[in-house]
Structure 1
Amino acid sequence: MFASFGFTQAQDLSLQVPKEKVNMKIGETLQLEAMVVDADDNMVSGRDFIFYSRNRRALSVVDTTGLATAIRHGEYEVFVISPGSPQLRTSIFVTVAPEPIASIDLEGIPENIYAGINVPLEITVKDEAGFERPEKVIALSSSDEEIITVAPFNKLIVKKPGKATITAKVDEVEESITMEVIENPIAKILLKSDKVEGKSGDVFTLTALAVDKDGNEVSDAPISYSFTGESFDVSAAPSGLINEEGKFVADEPGIYVLNATSGPSAASITVQANTRNVGREIELIGQGSMNKKHTSDLWVWEGIDGKDYAVTGTWGADGTAYFWDVTDPAEIFLVDSVKVDARTVNDVKVSEDGKVAIISREGASNRKNGLVIIDVSNPRDAKIISEFSENLTGGVHNVFIYQNHVYALSAGRKYYSINIEDPANPKIVGEFELDTPGHSIHDVWVHDGIAYSSNWSDGVQLVDVGNGIAGGTPSNPVQFASYAYPSGSNHAAFPYKDEKTGKFYVILGDEEFPYGLDPSGRKPSRAAGYLHVIDFTDLKNPKEVAWFQVPFAGSHNFWIEDDILYAAFYNGGVRVVDLSGELLGDLNRQGREIAWIVPEDPDGYVANAPFTWGAQPHKGHIFYSDWNSGLWSAKLKPVVPENAKLEAK
C-alpha cells in the first residue's frame, strides 16, 4: 500500500505515502497516512507528521494528524511534512468524486421578448451536493428554429413573432421553457453622454433612451453598448471598456465612438480622451537597514513627544520587533527593540494615542503564541506590559487596534475582540467566525467602527463592531455585507470613499505564489495576484468594477490617503496610484500609476532581491518595509504646473 512514489529521502530515511491517488466522496472523512522508513524499509518510530492543504475550502485537513474531510469535488494535493532531523516532505494526491447533476436553471429571460433582439441565457447547473458545475456541457435546442435559433455560448437568436420552446439538457437532466416573441416597437434610440471630453481613466456615462414611432419611451428595451476608437499614439491600439450600464473608460488617449444598439436601432456619440498625465518623480530618501533577518510589517506614528517613530516586525527569525526614529526620514535610526518567544512577529500596530503597540506572535517554543502589548510612550524604552494568549491558537497572523480593542486572528479561522482599556489585564469580549465549509481568514482591518476581514475564498466580510450600521459592538460583531471573487485569494482589504463622486469602494488584494516561495528565504522570490476594486456603494449589491495589476509581481499590503493608493507589490516594489474620480476597468493601462520605487539593496538578506511587504504614507513621505532589507522612506516630488514647464523651456 505504501511505496516510494512521491517521497523525499535524506540520511537513508524516506517519507512514504500511498502510491495511488486517494479517492474520496463529498462529505466523507478519511484518515490520511504516512510513515518514515529507513534504508531497509523498516518503519522509524517517534516521527511526527504535519498535513496541510492549500485548498481548505475543498479539502479541509482539520488537524495535523491528517484527518481530512472532502467538501468539494476535484483533484487536490495534500502536503506532508515530518519535522525533525532530517526534515522530510512529500505529497498525497486526493481525488474527490463529483455528485450527479440535480438541476438546470434557465434565467435572464426578459418579460417581453422583442423580435430582432437576441437574448443571452443565464444557465446554472447544480449537482446533488449543491455545487455549481460550470464545466458541464449544456445541449440547447429550440422547437422552432424559424422563431428562435440557438447560437453558441448559450445565446438565443430571436427572429420573428411566435412561440418556441427552448430545452437545456445536461447528462440525463432536462429543463424547458416556452418563450413568446412579440413585434419590436423600438423606432430609434436617443443617446447622450455626461461629457464629450475627458482623460484616460475618466468615466463617460451614457444615457440611452429607446422610443417607439410616436416618441414614447420603450422602458424595457434591452440596450447593448460598444465602442470603436482611434488612438492618438500610432504605436498603440485604441483600448478601453464599456459596461452594460453604458459607462465607458478609455485606456489609451484618443477619439472614441460610443454606440448604443437595440435590435436594428442604433445611435452613436463621439468623445475624446486626453492623456491622464499624473506621473510624478519619486525620490529615495532613507533606509533603516535590516539585513540579518527578514522584515515583516510596519507601522508609522507620531509619538506623544511629537517625534515620528516606526515599528517593524521580523519573519522566521527570533521574535524581535524593532523601533525606529523616523522624524528625519533621511536619517532613520534604531532606538530600541523588544524580543519575545516567537519565530515570527508578523504584524505590528500602534494605538491611536501613540501609547500602546501590539505585536503578534507565531512559532512560540511553548506553542503559546497570542499577542504582546507594549508601552511605547517612550519608544526609546519600549516595555512589555502584558502578554495574552487565551484562545489565540495556531499563531496570531494579524492584529488591529481600534478604540481600546484589539482584533486578533486565531488559528487562521476567526478573530477575537479583546478589550485593552487596562492593557495589563486584557480580556476577550467578542468574536467573529464564518460558518462556511473550510473557512479561513488572513487579515482584519478596522475603520469607522467597521471591521473588514479578508477571508480567502469567502472574500471580504464587512462587520459592524461599533459603527451602528447593523447594531454591532466589539462584544457583538454583526456582519452586514460581503463580496467574494473566483480566485479565492483575498488576503487584504482597505476601504475608500471618493468624496467627490460619493462612491464607496473596498480594495481587495490577492496573495499568490504560483512560482513557489523559498521557505529558507535565501533565494529571490516572485509573487502574483492583483488588486480588485469593489464598488460597495450599494451594500446589498457590491460589484467588481476595476483592478490594478503589476506584470510579474504580486500585491501584499496597501494604504489609501487623499485619493492615492500606496501598494506594496512584493518583487514589484511600491506602486503609487491615482484613485480620483469614478473607477472602472484596468487602472494601470489607463495611466493612473503616479510613480513606483523598488528597494534594491546589495547588502540585503538576499542581495538585490526586493520583496516589499507594506507601505504607509506619513506626513508627506512614503514609508515601506522590505522582507530582505528593512525599513525605507521615499517622497513624491511636487507636481510642476504646466505654465512653469513652459517658462522653464
Structure 2
Amino acid sequence: MSLSALSLLLLSPTLVLAQDATPPAARIVIQPPSLELQIGETATLEASVIGADGQTLDEEVFFFSRARRSVTIDRAGKVEALAPGQFTIVARTRRRGATAEGQESRVSLGDRLTAEVPVTIMPPPLVALTVIAPEGRLYAGTEVDLQVRGTDDRGAERAVASLYLVSSAPQVATITSFGRLELRSPGSFTVTAEAEGVKSALDMQVHANPVVSIDLQVDSDEGRTGDVLHFTSLTRDLNGSPVTEVPVTLSFTARLEDDLGPAASGQIEPDGRFVAEAPGTYTIMATCGSNIARKSVRIAPRNVGGQLKLVGRGKVYDTHTSDLWIWEGLDGRDYAVTGTWGANGDAIFWDVTDPANIERIATVNVDARTVNDVKVTPDGRLCVLSREGASNRKNGVVLVDVSNPREPEVLSSYSEALTGGVHNVFADGNTIYALSAGRRYDVIDAADPRSPRTIGSFELDTPSHSIHDVWVEDGLAYSSNWSNGVHIVDVGAGLKGGSPSNPQPVASYAYPSGWNHAAFPYRDEQTGRFYVVAGDEAFPFGLHTEGLPTYPRGWFHFIDFSDLDAPQEVARYQVPEAGTHNLWIEGDVLYGAYYNGGLRVVDISGELMGDLYRQGREIAFFLPADPEGHIANAPMVWGPQPHKGNIFFSDWNSGLWCVRLEQDGKN
C-alpha cells in the first residue's frame, strides 16, 4: 500500500509554457500541442526534450492519462478517445540525473520536466430523446422526478445538455427548473422534451389522491448523532384503509443545542432513514397532498471521544518509511517490519514487545529503490517484501524467513511475470497475492518458500485498467483499482466456485473521482450489514519528496455490499483539507491513516449513513509531527495496525510509532 508510484493519475505537474518570458533550461515540446477527437478516433503525440540552446536532448518522455476510462495513451504516444469531455494527457521525463530505470537519484518531482496536452473529445450527435414514465400511478398533490434519456448515433446513452421541458397543462402538472413534476390536480397532460433539435413527448394521467390522513412513526424517539433512525409513514383513505401506492414526502426542521450559527444538521432519505449530525430536537414532517404529520425526536451527543497517548517510537530519519506489519513471533515476543520508500531497498525489523522501548533489531537489504509493502504470514514464519526499482529491472517479491526476526534470512527472490514492479502484496496463509506492474495481481504458492510458483492471476478486462492494492479475507480478495473501483473476487469463499488458482469475480463498485486506493471489508454485528470501506489517494497539489510538506485529499467511502448485486455508497468519513491512505478495522472501530491529517480512530458501529466526521463519530486523532523528520514537522501517516491494545502506525517522514487510546466519553 503506497504513495501509488507518486500517484501517476493525480499529480499536479509543473506546466511547461511556450510563452514564458524566461525559457527553462530544458522543456518538453509536444506535437500537436492539443487534440480534438471524436469517440473512437485515435491520434499520435510526438514529444522531444529541447535544451536551453535549442538542441534536442537524448531524454525519454513518458505519457499518461489523467482519465484513463475516457482517454488512453500508450507508450508510443497513441491516444484513443473513449468518452466525451475535457481531459489532459501528461508528458514527463524521468527524474533529472537518473542513470537507468530503477536507479533514479532521490530528488523532488520538480526535477522532472512535465508538460500537458489538453484533449477535447466531442460528444456524438444526439439522435433521440426518451421521456421515462415514472413508476406507478401519478397522484395529485405529490411530486416525482422526471427522467429523460438521450441516445447518440451509435445507440449508446448520452448526457443531454440544455434540456427544455414543458407541460401541456400547467393546471394539472408543472415542471420545476430542477426537472421535478409537481402534480396539481387530476387530469391528462403531455410532457415535451427538446434538446439539440431533437424532441420527444409522453402523455401522462394524474389521478385523484385518495389519502385523507397520515400517521408518522419512528423506531426510537431518542438517539445519538450518527445513529440511523427509521421513520414509517402510514397513509389511509376515507374508509380508514391503508394506502400504499401514493408517495409521501419527508422533510425536517431542527432546534439545535448549539445556536451559534450551526451548519446543516441532518439527512433524511425517501425510505425514511434519518441521521443527525448535531445534538438537538428534530421534527420530521410527512406530507401527501394537503395532509401532514409530524414526529419529533431528541438527539444527544455521541460522546465516544478519547485521546491517543504516545507510547513509543522507532525513528527513521534518513529516508522515507512505507508500510508496516506487526506480529507475534514464534518466541511469543512482538515484532514489526517497516519498508522504505525511494531509498536503497531496506526492510527494517523491530522488537516492539515493550512498545515504550522499541528496538531496531535487524535490516534486510534487497535490490530495489522502494520496499513499498511488507507482510508476514499468519504463522509468523515468512515475511514478504515487495520490490520496485531493481537495478536489473527484475523486481518481484523477496521471501524472508523470520522464525527468528533478529536474524532474518532471505530464502528466495521471485520475479516470474513480476519484473514491472510489485507495489503491494498480501499473505493469506502460504498463498501470496502480488500486484504486477499495476495491471493485475498474481497468486503465488509459497508453501516451499525457496521455490515459489505462480498458480493464478486476476486482471480486469476494461480499457486501460490499473490496480493499486489487494486484501484477502475469508476467501474473498478485495482489490482497489483506481477509476475501476473496488472489485470482490472469490478465491475460495465458495460464492462463485473460485480458488487461488481460479479467481472468479463476485461484485464491484466504482465511484466518480477514480481515486480508489485501498479497501477493507467490515460486517456490522448489530445490523448484519456488510460494508467495504474504500480509501482514496490523491495529490491535487503535488507530492513533495524533500523539504516541503504535502497536502493530499480524499476520504473513506462506505459501500454497503449486503446485496452483492446492488452495492450502494451510503456514508463517508472525510477530514477537511487532508487525504486518506491505508486503513484497518478491528471490531467496530476504524483506524485510518490520514496522511497529513495524522492517525484517526473512528466509531463505525451500527447502521451507517451520511458524513461520519460531522456526526461526532471520530474518537481521537494523533498528529506525529517531528522536527527531525525526513521532512520536518510534516505528519504523513501511511498505515495503521492495532495490536494487543496498542495502535502502531508508520509515518512517511519519521518512521514507526506506537500510541494507546484512552477514552473519556466526551464528544
Provide the TM-score with structure 2 as the length reference.
0.91
- Partner AA of 2:91 in structure 1: V
Q: Are 2:298 and 1:272 aligned? A: yes
Residue 226 of structure 1 contacts residue 260 of structure 1 at CA under 8 Å; is this kept in 2?
Answer: yes
Q: Is the 8 A contact 1:261 1:267 kept in 2?
A: yes
C-alpha separation in 2, matches of 1:6 and 1:427: 55
Kept in 2: contact 1:27–1:69 (CA 8 A): yes
Number of the residue aligned with 1:297: 323
Question: Does the CA-based 8 Å contact 1:615-1:623 persist in structure 2?
Answer: yes
What is the aligned partner in structure 2 of residue 24 from structure 1? 37
Q: Aligned residue for 2:172?
A: 147
- For 1:338 and 1:285, locate their aligned partners in 2 and report how far apart those are by CA, in whole Å: 26
What is the DSSP-based 3-state SS (H/G/I as helix, E as strand, rest coil) of the residue aligned with 2:297?
A: strand
Classify 1:542/1:107 alpha carbon distance in 2 versus 1 (closer, same or farther; 3 Å): farther
Does the CA contact (< 8 Å) of 1:280 and 1:639 recur in 2?
Answer: yes
Query: Does 2:80 align with 1:69?
Result: yes
Preserved contact between residue 5 and residue 17 of structure 1 (Cα < 8 Å): no
Structure 2 partner of 1:588: 613
* Structure 2 counterparts to residues 252-291 of structure 1, below 5 A: 252-291=278-317
The alignment partner of 2:357 has SS state of: coil
Describe how 1:326-365 pairs up with structure 2 within 5 A. 326-365=352-391
**Do 1:7 and 1:90's aligned partners in 2 also have CA atoms closer than 8 Å?**
no
Which range moves more in the overlay, 146-155 or 15-24? Answer: 15-24
Equivalence for 1:623: 648
Amino acid paired to 1:56: R
In structure 2, how many angstroms separate the alpha carbons of the residues matched to 1:383 and 1:549? 42
Shift of 1:193: 0.6
**Distance in structure 2 (CA, Å) of the matches to 1:587 and 1:87:** 39
**Alignment partners' CA distance in 2, 1:366 and 1:5:** 37
1:523 alignment counterpart = 548
Unaligned runs of 5+ in 2: 1-15, 98-110
1:90 to 115, 123, 146: 115
Once the two structures are TM-superposed, the CA of residue 320 in structure 1 deviates from its matched residue by 1.0
Match of 1:557 in 2: 582
Question: Which residues in structure 2 correspond to 1:329-408 (within 5 Å)?
Answer: 329-408=355-434
- The equivalent of 1:56 in structure 2 is 68
**Contact 1:4 1:17 (C-alpha < 8 Å) held by counterparts:** no
Given that 1:6 and 1:17 are in contact with CA atoms closer than 8 Å, whether structure 2 keeps it comes out as no
Alpha-carbon RMSD: 2.2
Per-residue CA deviations over 1:290-346 (Å, capped at 9, x if unaligned) read: 010000111111111111111111111111111111111111111111111111111
How many residue pairs were aligned? 637
8 A contact 1:58–1:438 mirrored in 2: no
User: CA 1:626–1:124 in 2, change beyond 3 Å: closer, same or farther?
Assistant: farther
CA contact (8 A) 2:396 2:422 kept: yes
Which secondary structure state, in structure 2, belongs to the residue aligned with residue 418 of structure 1?
Answer: strand
Matching of residues 140-219 of structure 1 within 5 Å? 140-219=165-244
- What are the Cα deviations for residues 211-236 of structure 1, in whole angstroms up to 9, with x where unaligned? 21112221212122111111122225
Report the residue type matching 1:97 in the other structure.
Answer: M
Kept in 2: contact 1:357–1:376 (CA 8 A): yes
Q: Map Cα deviations across residues 94-136 of structure 1 (whole Å, 9 max, x no partner).
A: 2222222244343460221111112211334344467755461
Correspondence for 1:414: 440
CA contact under 8 A between 2:422 and 2:437: conserved in structure 1?
yes
8 Å contact kept, 1:204–1:247: yes
Deviations 1:469-488 (A, max 9, x none): 22111111111111111111
Give the whole-Å Cα distance in 2 for the aligned partners of 1:169 and 1:280: 57
Asked if structure 2 preserves the Cα contact closer than 8 Å seen for 1:22 and 1:93, the reply is yes
> Partners in 2 of 1:455 and 1:129 — Cα distance?
28
Q: Which deviates the most, 433-442 or 266-275?
A: 433-442
Equivalent residue number for residue 646 of structure 1: none
**Are the counterparts in 1 of residues 305 and 666 from structure 2 also a CA contact under 8 Å?**
no
- Residue aligning to 2:251: 226
User: How far apart are the structure 1 equivalents of 2:170 and 2:236?
Assistant: 29
Matched to 2:429, the amino acid is: Q
Equivalent AA in structure 1 for residue 205 of structure 2: E
In the TM superposition, 1:395-544 aligns within 5 A as: 395-518=421-544, 520-544=545-569
C-alpha contact (below 8 Å) 2:527/2:607 kept by paired residues: yes
Mapped contact 2:304–2:663 kept (Cα < 8 A): no
Long gaps (5+) in structure 1? 643-649
Identical pairs, percent = 50
User: Counterparts of 1:478 and 1:210 in 2: how far apart (Å)?
Assistant: 46
Evaluate the alpha carbon distance shift between residue 14 and residue 200 of structure 1 in structure 2; reply closer, same or farther with a 3 A threshold.
closer
Q: 1:39 Cα shift?
A: 4.4
Alignment partner for residue 101 of structure 1, among 96, 101, 126? 126
Residues 538 and 579, structure 2, Cα contact 8 Å, conserved in 1: yes
TM value normalised by structure 1: 0.94
Contact 2:305–2:663 (CA under 8 A) maintained in structure 1: no
* Contact 1:405-1:421 at 8 Å conserved across structures: yes
Give 1:432 shift: 1.4
Distance 1:342 1:104, change over 3 A: farther
